[in-house]
Amino acid sequence: MGKPTGFLEFERETPTERLPEDRIEDWAEIYEPLPEETLRRQGARCMDCGVPFCHTGTEMAGRTSGCPIHNLIPEWNDLVYRGMWREALDRLHRTNNFPEFTGRVCPAPCEGSCVLAIDDPPVTIKSIENAIAERGFEEGWIVAEPPAWRTGKQVAVVGSGPAGLACADQLNHAGHTVTVYERDDRIGGLLMYGIPSVKLDKGVVQRRVDLLEAEGIQFITGVEVGVDIPASTLKEEFDAVVLCTGATRPRDLPVKGRQLDGIHFAMDFLRANTRSLLDSGLQDGDYVSAEGRNVVIIGGGDTGTDCVATAVRHRCASVTQFEILARPPETRAPDNPWPEWPHVYFLDYGQKEAKARFGDDPRQYLLSTTRFVGDDEGRVRELHTAQVVWEEDETGRRIPVPLPGTEKIWTADLVLLALGYEGPEDPVPAGLELERDARSNIRAEHGDYETSVPGVFAAGDARRGQSLVVWAIEEGRGAARAVDLHLMGRTELPG
């Protein structure tokens, strides 16, 4: 695909980032779009590799390799190279309901498994995907397309994150009447409140929500199923129910001093910040401010990075990020071969901003927090850590072991716990008496998605555990197909 010699002629180019010292003064998206000619050159780098791994969508060594929704990447790379943008959009929409989301926030496992990436920088797939979607909106090609007829079947979708929206979109196009329940005051779930505006502008989310509503999907906000209304009520009133509630139960850190004020779950910090930003431009004060504080973030993943970026924009006094794992190598290690996701050291956007503000990467590796210490008023003032080494226990499982004599005290008056999630919250699964797996996720098989209760389906993080937006879309689409088959006895929805 693309130009046969393009990968030899053109270097990889990515969107320009606004300078960190400039962008930390606002909440706008950090990337500038690439010019069309640059995008066409990048499409030309797709190398007609014969067996493209970019859209395989498998898991290797616990990480995603290739695109889980099997985007037809070589095809739309070729079409962009040829200037056939409308056709590229049509190919992109065959597999992806929301390319404007994944083109912004997906970590691009497709690029990690790009054949060109064996010994060269990969094709700029993610940027091309986003550009195709934005071109579609600019040209007026993406418009509301309500279904031509209705089946008479009613489906409730609980949760309006990427899995819920993808499921609702597919079921609506199949002609079913879909109602989406969301406990927050805005639709979007993780997309609206879990990802900062600097990575995904909320106008982009609302633009898509408005389209879905114009196509006939009913959205009900401010209603928590299992709390405000019994989950069993949905089972009685709808022909099918799909649970896309996410894995929103945060993992805690049960060490001495955890009860002190000033220690918050990362998602509570991020969610309140975005809500206040949307409601009042942070003028209502209804959020946890990091201004003037010494911030410690425990956890080295994407959520931790988002906390770093948010704290820097609050004008914190300092920010440090603890990671219990070792610092990744500069290049692929021998046990991390292509096409696995490359586990290598890099500065993500938040770390770049902290470095611009304070002079260094804020991350500290191989650290375990042992306790928190507070002042007389019960507010956290410091935390204690120890260095760790990773060793195998008697079962062969690798565990962190503290090293004696490596204890250290850190000043901290705001601590954010970004340690991941332990599964869905209880009200909905308990209300429907659903079976759970060993990780507390709702038990349902991938590809089938039906839970232990007939007519009730589960998809996304609520079923598979904390994962990527692109996996949520894949599961939402798959669940929609399963529901359509359940309701109609046949389905033409793609798998």
Q: 412 Cβ partners below 8 Å, 6+ apart? A: 262, 294, 295, 296, 320, 380, 381, 382, 383
Q: Are the C-beta atoms of 296 and 307 separated by less than 8 Å?
A: no
- Taking the C-alpha atoms of residue 480 and residue 97, their distance in angstroms, rounded to an integer, is 12
Q: 70 Cβ partners below 8 Å, 6+ apart? A: 55, 56, 57, 95
CATH 3.50.50.60 occupies which residues in the chain?
Answer: 154-248+422-488, 263-417
CA gyration radius for the chain?
23
DSSP classification of residue 380: E
Q: What are the structure tokens assigned to 469, written together?
A: 């937006």
CATH 1.10.1060.10 occupies which residues in the chain?
Answer: 6-138
Q: Does domain 154-248+422-488 have CATH number 3.90.79.10?
A: no
Q: What are the structure tokens assigned to 421, written together?
A: 């999630």
- Taking the C-alpha atoms of residue 421 and residue 439, their distance in angstroms, rounded to an integer, is 10
Q: pLDDT tens digits for 60-74?
A: 988 999 999 999 999
CATH topology of domain 263-417: FAD/NAD(P)-binding domain (3.50.50)
CA torsion, ordered 162, 165, 166, 170, to nearest 10 deg: 180
- Look at the pTM and tell me if it is higher than 0.85: yes
The yes-or-no verdict on residue 3 having pLDDT over 90 is no
Residue matched to tokens 């996304």: 460
What HEC string does 226-269 produce?
CCCECHHHHHHHCCEEEECCCCCCECCCCCECCCCECEEEHHHH
- Taking alpha carbons only, the member of 294, 319, 323 closest to residue 309 is 319
- Taking the C-alpha atoms of residue 95 and residue 18, their distance in angstroms, rounded to an integer, is 31
What mean pLDDT comes out for the span 5-18? Answer: 95
CATH topology of domain 6-138: Fumarate Reductase Iron-sulfur Protein; Chain B, domain 2 (1.10.1060)
What mean pLDDT comes out for the span 395-410? Answer: 95
Residue 1's pLDDT is: 58
Residue matched to tokens 């046949």: 490
Residue 403's pLDDT is: 96
Within 14-98, residue ranges assigned H as helices are: 20-23, 36-44, 73-81, 85-93
Across the chain, mean pLDDT equals 96
Q: Which helix (H) or strand (E) holds 370?
A: strand 367-374
Beta bridge partners of 442: 436
Residue 373's pLDDT is: 98
The yes-or-no verdict on residue 34 having pLDDT over 90 is yes
Q: pLDDT tens digits for 96-146?
A: 999 999 999 999 999 999 999 999 999 999 999 999 999 999 999 999 999
DSSP classification of residue 215: T
Task: State the Cα angle at 349 between 345 and 354, rounded to 5°.
Answer: 95
- Taking the C-alpha atoms of residue 79 and residue 444, their distance in angstroms, rounded to an integer, is 38
Q: Using 50, 70 and 90 to split pLDDT, how confident is the model at 50?
A: confident
Q: 383 Cβ partners below 8 Å, 6+ apart? A: 257, 296, 369, 371, 372, 373, 409, 410, 412, 415
DSSP classification of residue 282: T
What percent of the chain clears pLDDT 70, i.e. is strictly above it? 99
Q: pLDDT tens digits for 319-373?
A: 999 999 999 999 999 999 999 999 999 999 999 999 999 999 999 999 999 999 9
What mean pLDDT comes out for the span 454-471? Answer: 97
Four-residue CA torsion sign, 458, 464, 467, 468: negative
